Amino acid sequence: MSQILAEPIARLIEEFGKLPGVGPKTAQRLTFYLLRRPAEEAHALAQAIVDVKEQIIFCHVCFNLSATDPCQFCADTNRDHTRICVVEEPLDILALDRTGSYKGVYHVLHGSFSPMEGVLEDDLKIRELAERVGQGGVQEVILATNATVEGEATANLVKMRLQDSGVHVTRLAQGLPIGSDLEYADDYTLSRALEGRRDY
């Protein structure tokens, strides 16, 4: 293909093709779509990609992705800072927060415990969570990891690491579809799962 297509076109198709869920056909379609659009649109897209890499940082408290440190949740004094909801990914915060039924703060692990896929305990922000809880003032840690085998293993691991802290550990109620990712759950199911959380 690279012999037939001009080099910049081939290069953009190749870059698009590296994105998750984008096959060669889609990569070609996106590239030719952009070629037909005004230059400003392409610039806006390129700038947005650069900005997200340059301006988004980790919140040093909860490891959420944010433009500010601390993030909007950790900086919000109206939220209940005695309750920490532990999630796998930043997108899970979006899902939980739009339910409106949770007013505490969050902690992002950035993945789930999965030795088969090379994700070990140290790759997750578990030690950071234990340190955060160790600083005191936290009454409840809500484990909101996914209802998958990895999510369950992660919840177990976090609970073990918090055992000596004396903090109350709860887990989202069942009712979330087994094997599902939190971010795809509907608001009603998530609200119910939060309200019905149980000791863990």
CB of 70 to Zn ion, least distance (A): 5
In the window 145-164, what residues touch Zn ion (CB under 5 A)? none
Q: Please answer whether residues 98 and 155 qualify as being in contact, where contact means their C-beta atoms are separated by less than 8 angstroms.
A: no
* Beta strands at 57-58 and 65-66: parallel, antiparallel or unpaired: antiparallel
The answer to whether 145 and 157 are in contact (CB under 8 A) is no
Considering the complex, what minimum distance in angstroms separates the CB of residue 57 from Zn ion?
A: 11
Q: Which of 64, 99, 154, 170 binds Zn ion (CB under 5 A)?
A: 64
Structure tokens at 21: 């869920």
Among 12, 27, 61, 96, binds Zn ion (CB under 5 A): 61
Q: Is position 71 an interface residue for Zn ion (rule: CB under 5 A)?
A: yes
Judged by CB under 5 A, the stretch of 15-23, 55-63, 136-144, 165-173 that binds Zn ion is 55-63
Q: Does 85 bind Zn ion (CB under 5 A)?
A: no
* CA pair distance 128, 101, nearest whole angstrom: 26
Q: Is 59 in the site for Zn ion (CB under 5 A)?
A: yes
The DSSP H or E segment spanning 104 is strand 104-108
Q: Give the residue with the Cβ less far from Zn ion, 74 or 87.
A: 74
Which of residues 17 and 70 has its CB atom nearest to Zn ion in the complex? 70
Q: Which of 12, 62, 95, 193 binds Zn ion (CB under 5 A)?
A: 62
Contacting Zn ion (CB under 5 A), which of 12, 13, 27, 74? Answer: 74
Cα separation of 116 and 102, whole Å? 33
Binding mask 99-128 for Zn ion (x = CB under 5 A): ------------------------------
Tokens of 166: 């004396």
CA nearest 167: which of 93, 84, 101, 89?
84
Spatial separation of the C-alpha atoms in residues 129 and 47, rounded to whole Å: 34
- How distant, in Å, are the alpha carbons of 20, 73, 93, 96, 172 from that of 86? 25, 13, 9, 11, 10
| Shortest spacing between CB 136 and Zn ion, in angstroms | 18
What are the residues binding Zn ion (CB under 5 A)? 59, 61-62, 64, 70-71, 74
